Structure 1
């Protein structure tokens, strides 16, 4: 059924865009849906993913669209990819940061412009009773959403959707408490909140005065 947990939170992520926002980096871009939504707002986007087939499919889909902003796709491992400092007004990571070392978040923050925003829609390893209880609560809600989206897509579908390669899946190694402890020490200007569908949202505003303390 066509219900994607990351896409479900796209609107939430878009509400964190800084103003103005001229250039963005989308880490682990997958099929490029979120990069396209950024480009629709006239933003120049560098979209990066480690999977060659996924990047090729994302590039092909975006080339067929008339987007006011430019998307530059690159196949690369973000943890090894050199990033120029103070370059991006907005950096997004959708269910991708756990594929590499957590220290990558510091590298990403350094690539933000002053007052830029880093947003991570992340996955975490369930470890506590509350983690498991929320996971159980999400199951029936997830089923309901999948059914609603399936029926809506079936009613509105006028053409076949292009098939895209499946992105590699890696289970997260860190618990939410461990992620909060690390980011609290290294990204003190960030805030994390737990979301329903097995995700957390981290928003880091690159307040230079705070970062210098």
Structure 2
């Protein structure tokens, strides 16, 4: 039964878009669903993923759409990619940062324009009793959502006519606990906000205020 936890939080991430937002970077873009939503808002998007299969699928799906903004897909390792400082108004990483050293967020921060926004929808390692309690509580809610999404897609003509499913994105277990992520963010991303989300995710939001950009 299909239920994509990352897709579930897209609207939450889009609320953090700055005004104006002309250019964005999607780190670990997968098959490009979130990049498409950014482009629908007229934003120029650089979408990067290390997996060649998902990038191929992302290009194919985006090419079939009429989007106000352009998406440039690139197969690349974000840790090796050169990001010019002060380039992006908005940078998003959806369940991708735990695939690379967490210090990569500093590289992303440097690529923000003044007043740009960095959002990380991340996965964390369960390390405390409360982590496990939240995880356990998410299980029945997750089951309900899976059933709802399955029934919706079963009724969808688009799904009924589609025989080919997109390739699955590579997965990896997160190595950092939420406490460790908070400690790193407190030291390297001053005044960032982190909150735990239900479906085994956290949300980190960093606003590159003009005063911060000058430091």
TM bracket (short chain): over 0.9
Conservation of the 8 A alpha-carbon contact between 1:189 and 1:207: no
Q: Distance in 2 between matches of 1:152 and 1:12?
A: 21
Which one of 199, 203, 206 corresponds to residue 204 of structure 1?
A: 206
Determine if contact 1:189/1:206 at 8 Å carries over to the other structure.
no
Q: CA deviation at 1:189?
A: 2.5
Moved over 4 A (4+): none
**Structure 2 unaligned residues grouped into runs of 5+:** none
1:174 matched to which residue of 2? 176
Query: CA shift at 1:160, angstroms?
Result: 1.3
Query: Is the contact made by 2:114 and 2:213 (CA closer than 8 Å) also made in structure 1?
Result: no
Alpha-carbon distance between aligned partners in 1 of 2:88 and 2:213, rounded to the nearest angstrom:
17
Equivalent positions of 1:78-97 (< 5 A) are 78-97=78-97
Q: CA deviation at 1:166?
A: 1.2
Deviation per CA, 1:82-101, whole angstroms, max 9, x where unpaired? 10000000000000001001
Q: Distance in 2 between matches of 1:77 and 1:98?
A: 13
Q: Match for residue 62 of structure 2?
A: 62
1:212 deviates by 4.7
Change (3 A) 1:161 1:45: farther
* Equivalent pair of 1:114/1:208 in contact (CA under 8 Å): yes
TM-score, normalised relative to structure 1 = 0.97
Aligned to 1:122: 122
> What residue number does 1:45 align with?
45
Structure 2 residue 136 is matched with structure 1 residue 136: yes
For 2:107 and 2:163, locate their aligned partners in 1 and report how far apart those are by CA, in whole Å: 36
Q: Distance in 1 between matches of 2:167 and 2:154?
A: 22
Q: Give deviations 1:121-154, integer Å, cap 9, x for gaps.
A: 0000000000000000000000000001111111
Partner of 2:191: 189
Give CA-to-partner distance per residue, 1:68-115, whole Å, 9 cap, x none.
100000000001111000000000000000100111000000100000
Do structure 1's residue 13 and structure 2's residue 13 form an aligned pair? yes
TM-align CA RMSD: 1.1
Q: How many residues align?
A: 213
Spell out the pairing of 1:25-44 with structure 2 (5 A cutoff). Answer: 25-44=25-44
Whole-Å separation in 1 of the counterparts to 2:136 and 2:57: 34
